[in-house]
Amino acid sequence: MLVAHLVPGYFVAAQSKLNWASEWNPTQRAFLWATALGSTVAPDFDVIYNTLFRGFFNHSILWTHSVFVYLVFGLVWLVFNMLKRCTYIKTVAGLVALGGLSHLILDMVAHGTPILYPISMRAFGIAPQRVINGGVLAYLTDPIFLSEPLFCGIAIIHWIHHQDRVSTHFKNLMTAGIIGGIFLFTITFTLLLPILQEAVLPLLPL
């Protein structure tokens, strides 16, 4: 997954916001939003660093894709929740846990990831073998890539419909436009898929 990793973070923050304390200031609330969104993409920061500074597009740190890391944050949330204390820290921990776990789930859908590292290096996933072996180019030219605009479109529609200052007519118009755009992209992508797959075939690992 690429941009779609942000979608679960958005929904988690939107739902969590219903329970945020009224005394939390704008800076604290902004940090919670940043935590919710950032935790969904943070596991891939090593890929960004490697691409920019080391000349290769791949992971070099596997701890960020280990389920045990996010279970620890989940445990912190559980302890503070049972103690009924440190509500803000508890919320931060919960957002990190959910954001990280959502990243792992989407990675398992999109390609595969070693969620049991360091106990096991096995990559768990349900993606086609072509995508698992071929990396990002294979992912970008596989039907599974259509999940990206779908997930992003759902999040944008949800955000639009929760804007109080926007008229219902405009919300409905934007929703129709987004759905139409996703449908058009899906049809175009599907028709071009054989051409795209053939074009990237020489670039994929053997």
| Residue-level pLDDT at 53 | 82
Backbone angles phi, psi at 3, to 5 degrees: -65, -30
The answer to whether the pTM exceeds 0.85 is yes
Q: Which of 15, 21, 25 is nearest to 85 (CA)?
A: 21
Whether the bond into 194 is cis, omega within 30 of 0: no
| Residue-level pLDDT at 204 | 86
| Residue-level pLDDT at 33 | 97
| Residue-level pLDDT at 142 | 95
DSSP-assigned states of every residue in 32-77: HHHHHHHHHHGGGHHHHHIIIIIS--S-S--GGG-HHHHHHHHHHH
Residue 25 exposure: Cα atoms within 13 Å on the Cβ side: 1
> What is the chain's pLDDT, residue by residue, as a tens digit (206 residues)?
789 999 999 999 999 999 999 999 999 999 999 999 999 999 998 888 888 888 777 777 889 999 999 999 999 999 999 999 999 999 999 999 999 999 999 999 988 889 999 999 998 989 888 898 888 899 999 999 999 999 999 999 999 999 999 999 999 999 999 999 999 999 999 999 999 999 999 988 86
Angle ∠(43,44,48) on CA atoms, nearest 5? 145
Quote the CA–CA distance of 99 and 56 in Å, as a whole number: 26
